[in-house]
Amino acid sequence: MAGEAPDCEKFIRDAVASQLKGDQGAPLKAAALLKSALISAAGPGADGAPPPLAPASAVRSAVAGAMKGLILAEADLGLSAVALIRMVGYLAADAQVDAQESMVWAMEGIAAAGPLMTPMALVTVQDEIESSFMGAGGIFADLCHRAQTQS
């Protein structure tokens, strides 16, 4: 699975960027594309059960790809970030994975796309995350700082 993460990131980035440029519904449509990518990465569930949530690395990669595609599509990045985090949370709940942990994976993916955002866009994303998930804006800021120091 380790070799699949970059492919997943590139696939969803290209799909989002090409399909959603100028689309007002881009945040929700990107979340739907993310859902499909993560379900594919996780594989089928056993005996009709919902599929498991993809591993953390696949979640980070797919969210990073979706966010990079949304940047290229010139979408509303704040709303997009919240839609992606919510989708990961929903999938985590279905897969009985800790929702908070999975939401951090999603924010790590968004933070990985941070170097492609303007400083104002990053502030907007952080503010939207904070207003939708109380206390998560600070976590996102820390993840952005970590992502910048690692690159």
- The answer on pLDDT for 84 being more than 70 is yes
Tokens coding 141? 């800021």
Predicted TM-score (pTM) of this structure: 0.88
Give the amino acid at 10: K
SS3 state of residue 42:
helix
Give the separation between CA 65 and CA 33, rounded to whole angstroms.
Answer: 11
Q: Could you read off the pLDDT of 112-123 as tens digits, one per residue?
A: 999 999 999 999
Residue 108: its pLDDT value, please?
Answer: 97
- The answer on pLDDT for 1 being more than 50 is no
Q: What percent of the chain has pLDDT over 90?
A: 68
SS3 state of residue 118:
coil
Instruction: Count CB neighbours of 35 within 10 A.
Output: 16
Give the separation between CA 78 and CA 96, rounded to whole angstroms.
Answer: 27
Q: How confident is the model at residue 151 (pLDDT cuts 50, 70, 90)?
A: low
